Amino acid sequence: MENCIFCKIAAGIIPSSKVYEDEKILAFRDINPQAPVHVLVIPKKHIASVDKITAENSSLIAYIFENIPNVAKIAGITNGYRVISNCGPDACQTVPHLHFHILGGAPLAEKMA
Protein backbone atom coordinates (compact mmCIF):
# COMPACT_ATOMS: atom_id res chain seq x y z
CA MET A 1 0.00 0.00 0.00
CA GLU A 2 1.33 3.38 -1.04
CA ASN A 3 2.76 5.57 1.72
CA CYS A 4 2.63 2.81 4.32
CA ILE A 5 5.96 2.75 6.14
CA PHE A 6 5.68 -0.93 7.10
CA CYS A 7 4.73 -1.92 3.53
CA LYS A 8 7.94 -0.14 2.48
CA ILE A 9 9.93 -2.00 5.14
CA ALA A 10 8.33 -5.29 4.02
CA ALA A 11 9.33 -4.51 0.42
CA GLY A 12 12.90 -3.63 1.45
CA ILE A 13 12.50 -0.01 0.27
CA ILE A 14 13.15 1.19 3.83
CA PRO A 15 15.89 -0.78 5.61
CA SER A 16 15.26 -2.55 8.90
CA SER A 17 17.13 -4.72 11.35
CA LYS A 18 15.60 -8.04 10.35
CA VAL A 19 15.12 -10.86 12.84
CA TYR A 20 13.10 -13.24 10.65
CA GLU A 21 11.59 -13.14 7.19
CA ASP A 22 9.67 -15.50 4.94
CA GLU A 23 7.24 -15.06 2.07
CA LYS A 24 4.36 -14.03 4.34
CA ILE A 25 5.79 -12.18 7.33
CA LEU A 26 8.68 -10.03 8.51
CA ALA A 27 10.06 -9.52 12.02
CA PHE A 28 12.38 -6.58 12.66
CA ARG A 29 13.70 -4.60 15.60
CA ASP A 30 11.67 -1.58 16.72
CA ILE A 31 13.39 1.73 16.00
CA ASN A 32 12.37 2.99 19.45
CA PRO A 33 12.83 -0.03 21.74
CA GLN A 34 10.83 -0.11 24.96
CA ALA A 35 12.51 -3.23 26.35
CA PRO A 36 15.98 -4.78 25.92
CA VAL A 37 14.45 -6.88 23.13
CA HIS A 38 11.69 -5.19 21.14
CA VAL A 39 10.71 -6.78 17.84
CA LEU A 40 7.78 -6.06 15.55
CA VAL A 41 6.14 -8.85 13.55
CA ILE A 42 4.11 -7.81 10.52
CA PRO A 43 2.25 -9.49 7.70
CA LYS A 44 3.77 -8.43 4.37
CA LYS A 45 0.24 -7.99 3.04
CA HIS A 46 -1.28 -4.74 4.22
CA ILE A 47 -3.84 -5.11 7.00
CA ALA A 48 -4.49 -1.87 8.88
CA SER A 49 -4.96 -3.19 12.40
CA VAL A 50 -6.45 -5.94 14.57
CA ASP A 51 -9.79 -4.30 13.82
CA LYS A 52 -9.46 -5.45 10.20
CA ILE A 53 -8.93 -9.13 10.95
CA THR A 54 -11.60 -11.20 9.20
CA ALA A 55 -12.38 -14.83 8.38
CA GLU A 56 -10.68 -14.18 5.02
CA ASN A 57 -7.31 -13.09 6.44
CA SER A 58 -7.22 -14.79 9.84
CA SER A 59 -5.09 -17.70 8.60
CA LEU A 60 -2.29 -15.16 8.12
CA ILE A 61 -2.76 -14.00 11.70
CA ALA A 62 -2.58 -17.61 12.88
CA TYR A 63 0.59 -17.98 10.83
CA ILE A 64 2.12 -14.96 12.59
CA PHE A 65 1.37 -16.51 15.98
CA GLU A 66 2.73 -19.88 14.89
CA ASN A 67 6.00 -18.07 14.18
CA ILE A 68 6.19 -15.78 17.22
CA PRO A 69 7.90 -18.38 19.47
CA ASN A 70 10.64 -18.83 16.88
CA VAL A 71 11.00 -15.07 16.36
CA ALA A 72 11.35 -14.56 20.12
CA LYS A 73 13.97 -17.29 20.26
CA ILE A 74 15.97 -15.89 17.33
CA ALA A 75 15.80 -12.43 18.94
CA GLY A 76 17.47 -13.85 22.03
CA ILE A 77 14.54 -13.98 24.44
CA THR A 78 14.91 -16.83 26.93
CA ASN A 79 12.69 -16.02 29.91
CA GLY A 80 9.29 -14.95 28.60
CA TYR A 81 7.86 -12.13 26.58
CA ARG A 82 4.81 -9.94 26.05
CA VAL A 83 2.92 -9.69 22.76
CA ILE A 84 1.00 -6.47 22.19
CA SER A 85 -0.92 -4.99 19.28
CA ASN A 86 -2.11 -1.42 19.63
CA CYS A 87 -5.35 -0.91 17.72
CA GLY A 88 -6.66 2.55 16.95
CA PRO A 89 -6.27 6.01 18.49
CA ASP A 90 -7.09 5.21 22.12
CA ALA A 91 -4.48 2.45 22.08
CA CYS A 92 -1.92 4.87 20.56
CA GLN A 93 -1.47 2.95 17.31
CA THR A 94 0.93 5.13 15.31
CA VAL A 95 1.58 2.95 12.26
CA PRO A 96 -1.60 1.80 10.50
CA HIS A 97 -0.21 -1.53 9.34
CA LEU A 98 -0.96 -4.47 11.64
CA HIS A 99 2.01 -5.29 13.85
CA PHE A 100 2.63 -7.31 16.96
CA HIS A 101 5.19 -5.99 19.43
CA ILE A 102 7.29 -8.71 21.10
CA LEU A 103 8.86 -7.32 24.25
CA GLY A 104 11.30 -9.16 26.46
CA GLY A 105 14.86 -9.55 27.61
CA ALA A 106 14.13 -8.33 31.16
CA PRO A 107 11.25 -8.35 33.66
CA LEU A 108 8.49 -6.10 32.28
CA ALA A 109 6.13 -3.78 34.15
CA GLU A 110 3.21 -5.61 35.74
CA LYS A 111 0.66 -3.08 34.47
CA MET A 112 -0.11 -2.91 30.77
CA ALA A 113 -1.98 0.40 30.72
Annotated catalytic sites, by residue? 99
Binding segment toward ligand DGP, per CB under 6 A, in 18-26, 54-62, 63-71, 90-98: 90-98
Instruction: Tell me which residue of 23, 104, 19 sits closest to 70, measured CA to CA.
Output: 19
Task: Provide φ and ψ at 66, rounded to 5°.
Answer: -65, -30
Binding segment toward ligand DGP, per CB under 6 A, in 18-26, 30-38, 60-68, 69-77: 30-38
β-pair partners for 104: 37, 81
Interface with ligand DGP: number of residues (CB under 6 A): 14
28 belongs to the binding site for ligand DGP (CB under 6 A): yes
**4, 18, 21, 30: which one binds ligand DGP (CB under 6 A):** 30
Secondary structure letter of residue 8 according to DSSP: H
Dist CA 100 CA 41 (whole Å): 5
**2, 3, 13, 32: which one binds ligand DGP (CB under 6 A):** 32
Residues 6+ apart with CB under 8 A from 71: 19, 20, 27, 39, 41, 102
Binding site for ligand DGP (CB under 6 A): 5, 14, 16, 28-32, 40, 86, 92-95
